[in-house]
Amino acid sequence: MKYQLLAQEIIAAVGGQENIVSLVHCATRLRFKLRDSALSDIGRLKAQSDVMTVIESGGQFQVVIGNEVSDVYQAIQQALTPPDEVEVTSDSASKKDSLFNHFIDIVSSIFSPFLGVMAAAGILKGLLVVTVTLKWMSFDSGTYHVWYAASDSLFYFFPLVLGYTAGKKFGGNPFISMGIGGALVHPMIISAFKASTVAGGSTEYFMGIPLSFLNYSSSVIPIILASWANCKVEKALNAHLPAAIKNFITPLVCLMLIVPLTFLVIGPTATWLSQLLAQGYQIAYGFAPVLAGIITGGVWQICVIFGLHWGFIPITINNLTIVGHDTLMPLILPAVIGQTGAAFGVFLRTRDAKLKMLSGSAVTTGIFGITEPAVYGVTLPYRRPFIFGCVAGAIGGSVVGYSQSAAYSLGLVNILTFTQLIPPTGINNTVWGALIGTALAFVIATLLTWLFGLPASTKLSTKENKDERCH
């Protein structure tokens, strides 16, 4: 009943169901796309005890709930009638957004639905590396094969998963775009790709046009562009075909048209763009890795506050797909743990029972990569702890950047990310550099907050309350 009541309050405060264009959620936030944000009542939302804060950023109206966001999201979906109405994005609403806001909205809507399982798969990959490094398991064992398949399946079949979520975001039939993604990783296509890499391999043709096969497993950009093109064709067909035949003629035409178009044009173009993006990042990072660590560690949590961190997810995935490793994830780790350290400093320093309980809970969630409870509930309201967390993140990030640490699998950045930083050759200085930089961020943030983070009135609140009761 608690979530149902909160869901009704949130729906009313965002302007009612008719004002909701789309709704998704990430690890801690409800992300609304509203027809008119002026109809929302931010004060009413913030007055709810279960709402941490409200943010308008990236073309989205974001209601920060915390760890119970999934339950609240389900309650809202049940309260909306019919619930599927909020999944379709209106073009008229999108036109009001800037290009950057539209980009953030698209990325967050496509990736947030499977963020949890993506994080779990990345952690499992890291744990497998640890077991092999410690010789608890071998690459040839059946146990390793089963668990590796469980950890790698999501990433290998990214085109299917992204085809579904991108299809929903672009307002089309997600199963059509999912079918297009399946074609990209079909065993026949993978076999053709492997055959094309062998010297003297024959060229295959589509209606007389030579095909250039690429490995699309784990790819991101090709299926997103293909899904967008498919939804444009799908909407045009649905607008002109009779209702009696469009349910099967539209998917038929889309598959016959978009799949070959993807192999001939969209795929090669998107792969070229992916390689260009990866090369550009590598050049920028290689120019000054220490500076990259300082900037990333220092401003990451600010990006999280405004929801801008979603814009970096395609870069991380693209690096892993093209280069085989990613140096951005390790730079984020000190920022996450630094903010957790600031919350821990508040926990150690405060005498206020409520703040101590809140900060203690925030430390627990922060260690596992969810920093919103720490930021909105503990560090940001007192300002200095938040600043100390960012400063500590920058210092730790510089050490990680100097060590040129890299991640070899994708996942939510948290304390378990260390297992994903172990290269195939085993633990080396890049891993130790990440450990030292992250530990440094935690210790610095904790000490600075414990010494200077809280005003005297907060530190002594319990004592003052006792004195007042005595009088």
Question: Which residues are known catalytic residues?
Answer: 26
CB 121, CB 151: distance < 8 Å:
yes
CB 335, CB 397: distance < 8 Å:
yes
- Cα 25 from Cα 3, distance rounded (Å): 15
Q: How many Cβ atoms sit within 10 Å of the Cβ of residue 157?
A: 17
Angle at 42 between CA 39 and CA 43, to 5 degrees: 125
CB 377, CB 362: distance < 8 Å:
yes
Specify burial of residue 447 (Cβ count, 10 A radius: 0-12, 13-18, 19+): middle
**How far from the centroid of its chain's Cα atoms is residue 310's Cα?**
6
Please name every residue paired with 31 in a beta bridge, in sequence order, or none if there are none. 24, 62
CB 211, CB 204: distance < 8 Å:
yes
Residues 6+ apart with CB under 8 A from 269: 225
CB 345, CB 446: distance < 8 Å:
yes
- Cα 83 from Cα 349, distance rounded (Å): 46
Residue 40 DSSP class: -
- Cα 391 from Cα 396, distance rounded (Å): 9
> Strand pairing of 29-34 and 209-210?
unpaired
CB 335, CB 390: distance < 8 Å:
yes
**How far from the centroid of its chain's Cα atoms is residue 132's Cα?**
28
E strands present in 76-208? 205-206
Q: How many residues does the chain have?
A: 471
Q: Could you tell me the CA-to-CA distances from 277 to 68, 215, 284 in Å, in that order?
A: 36, 17, 11
Dig out the tokens for 11 from the structure: 């729906």
Helix, strand or coil, per DSSP, at residue 157: coil
Alpha helix segments (H runs only) across 87-141: 91-94, 99-111, 115-133
- Cα 353 from Cα 218, distance rounded (Å): 48
Only one residue has tokens 């195939």, namely: 424
CB 385, CB 459: distance < 8 Å:
no
